[in-house]
């Protein structure tokens, strides 16, 4: 059978097709090293030229370049109660915040490559400062909405959503004074959830946040789920959409090299379909691809598989659609 590539030709918020590729080689939000190598692996796999082939002009920003991440990681005093590395996470996310905001204000689409998901404290707050009307689609096995009071692990990659929403602000480590929460509960929807902590479930319920777990994907099918998710956060189809994509949303069968894999996830096609569908609305305006950790793979094939999935998520979001 003949296959051809068709291009989604209208990105409403980015008609001139410019991307700022923001590299966030950061591992301070969780305990497993290696996730900071994610961005380099995606670049080595040809991400930048793949995006250019889709008609995007790309430039690279490295906002963490001047940070002594290794030094910060060694600082044993960087704790706040049970919370690990608040200083390191705050410093990095503030720089990422600035980079994403600047990229968006220059009318380029910020594509941030992680790194662990704590960097979304910066990507979401930065993007929403530039685009206050935006909405957020969080693709993940986890809700990442633990607060300083509910987190059991103390890992900040499990907390970014609570920070950008300003939950439990009274308990924040002082380092986050710079952060102005700007995400409302009716502007976020989740897809792919299957490992949500007890405290997180209560928050989702109390705030009435739109959340589709794997149960809903099985029940309604991925097409209907994406439709319902977008309808909830973008009813008039006129808001810029930020997609924050944790690769562990996809089943470990396809994505092995990630820090907190959870079985029974999205198939690869379901995972790619989500971003294809957002691309088709023309509203995609910011994207994060996070939590690829090449050093957790059992073999080289697993590394390549995971890195390829990361690149495919970006390509599908940015207009590659297989017919
Ligand atoms: N971005 C992630 N992979 N997050 C995993 C979070 C796991 C757990 N809920 C925690 O708070 O520690
Ligand atoms: Mn996750
Ligand atoms: Mn996550």
Establish if 7 belongs to a structural domain.
Answer: no
pLDDT > 70: what percent of the chain? 97
**Could you tell me the distance, in angstroms and rounded to a whole number, from the CA of residue 292 to the centre of ligand 2?**
10
Establish if 5 belongs to a structural domain.
Answer: no
Establish if 195 belongs to a structural domain.
Answer: yes
Establish if 274 belongs to a structural domain.
Answer: yes
Each residue's pLDDT tens digit, 205-237:
999 999 999 999 999 999 999 999 999 999 999
Q: Kindly give the number of the ligand 1 atom that is closest to the alpha carbon of 260.
A: 3
pLDDT of residue 2: 45
Q: Is 302 annotated as a binding residue?
A: no
* 9 band by pLDDT with thresholds 50, 70 and 90: low
Q: Span 72-89, mean pLDDT?
A: 97
Establish if 221 belongs to a structural domain.
Answer: yes
- pTM beyond cutoff 0.95: yes
* 321 band by pLDDT with thresholds 50, 70 and 90: confident
**CATH number for the domain that contains residue 219:** 3.40.800.10
pLDDT of residue 95: 98
Establish if 6 belongs to a structural domain.
Answer: no
Report H helices in the chain.
38-44, 47-53, 69-74, 86-105, 120-130, 160-165, 198-207, 214-220, 222-233, 268-281, 300-317
What mean pLDDT value characterizes the chain? 96
pLDDT of residue 4: 47
Instruction: Provide the domain limits for residue 157.
Output: 18-175+182-322
Each residue's pLDDT tens digit, 261-316:
999 999 999 999 999 999 999 999 999 999 999 999 999 999 999 999 999 999 99
The answer, yes or no, to whether any atom of ligand 1 lies below 6 A from the CB of 151, is yes
HEC-encoded secondary structure of 240-276: CEEEEEEHHHECCCCCCCCCCCCCCCECHHHHHHHHH
Establish if 8 belongs to a structural domain.
Answer: no
Residue 111: which of 323, 267, 316, 322 has the closest Cα?
316
pLDDT of residue 163: 98
* 220: β partners: none
Q: How many residues does the chain have?
A: 323
Report the distance separating Cα 97 and Cα 95, nearest Å.
5
pLDDT of residue 6: 52
Establish if 13 belongs to a structural domain.
Answer: no
For residues 243 and 286, the answer to whether their CB atoms sit within 8 Å is yes
3-state secondary structure of 320: strand
pLDDT of residue 8: 57
- Kindly state the tokens that stand for 273: 């379909």
**Residue 148: C-alpha distances to residues 85, 169, 221, 235 (Å):** 12, 9, 35, 32
**Residue 32: C-alpha distances to residues 19, 116, 136, 192, 296 (Å):** 29, 10, 27, 23, 9
Residue of 153, 162, 192, 211 with the most ligand 1 atoms within 8 Å of its CB, for mutation: 153
* 213: β partners: 193
Looking at the structure of the chain, the number of domains it has is 1
The answer, yes or no, to whether any atom of ligand 1 lies below 6 A from the CB of 146, is yes
The answer, yes or no, to whether any atom of ligand 1 lies below 6 A from the CB of 27, is no
pLDDT of residue 3: 46
Report the distance separating Cα 263 and Cα 159, nearest Å.
21
**Could you tell me the distance, in angstroms and rounded to a whole number, from the CA of residue 141 to the centre of ligand 2?**
5
């Amino acid at each position: 059978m003949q296959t051809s590539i068709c291009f989604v030709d209208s990105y409403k918020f980015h008609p001139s097709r410019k991307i700022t590729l923001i590299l966030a080689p950061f591992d301070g939000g969780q305990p497993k090293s290696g996730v900071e190598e994610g961005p380099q692996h995606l670049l080595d796999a040809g991400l930048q030229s793949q995006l250019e082939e889709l008609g995007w002009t790309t430039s690279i920003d490295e906002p963490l370049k001047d940070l002594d991440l290794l030094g910060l990681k060694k600082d044993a005093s960087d704790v706040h109660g049970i919370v690990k590395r608040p200083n390191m996470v705050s410093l990095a996310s503030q720089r990422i915040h600035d980079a994403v905001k600047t990229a968006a204000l220059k009318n380029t689409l910020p594509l941030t490559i992680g790194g662990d998901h704590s960097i979304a404290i910066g990507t979401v707050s930065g993007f929403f400062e530039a685009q206050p009307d935006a909405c957020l689609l969080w693709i993940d096995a986890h809700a990442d909405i633990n607060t300083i009071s509910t987190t059991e692990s103390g890992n900040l990659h499990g907390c970014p959503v609570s920070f950008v929403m300003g939950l439990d602000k009274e308990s924040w480590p002082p380092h986050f004074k710079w952060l102005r929460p700007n995400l409302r509960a009716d502007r976020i929807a989740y897809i792919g959830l299957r490992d949500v902590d007890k405290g997180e479930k209560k928050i989702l319920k109390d705030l009435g946040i739109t959340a589709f777990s794997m149960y809903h994907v099985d029940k309604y099918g991925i097409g209907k789920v994406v439709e319902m998710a977008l309808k909830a956060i973008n009813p008039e189809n006129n808001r810029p959409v930020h997609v924050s994509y944790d690769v562990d949303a996809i089943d470990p069968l396809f994505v092995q090299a990630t820090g907190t894999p959870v079985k029974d996830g999205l198939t690869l096609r379901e995972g790619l379909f989500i971003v294809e569908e957002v691309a088709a609305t023309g509203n995609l305006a910011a994207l994060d691809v996070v939590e690829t950790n090449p050093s957790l793979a059992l073999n080289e094939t697993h590394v390549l598989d995971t890195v390829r999935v990361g690149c495919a998520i970006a390509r599908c979001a940015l207009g590659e659609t297989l017919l």
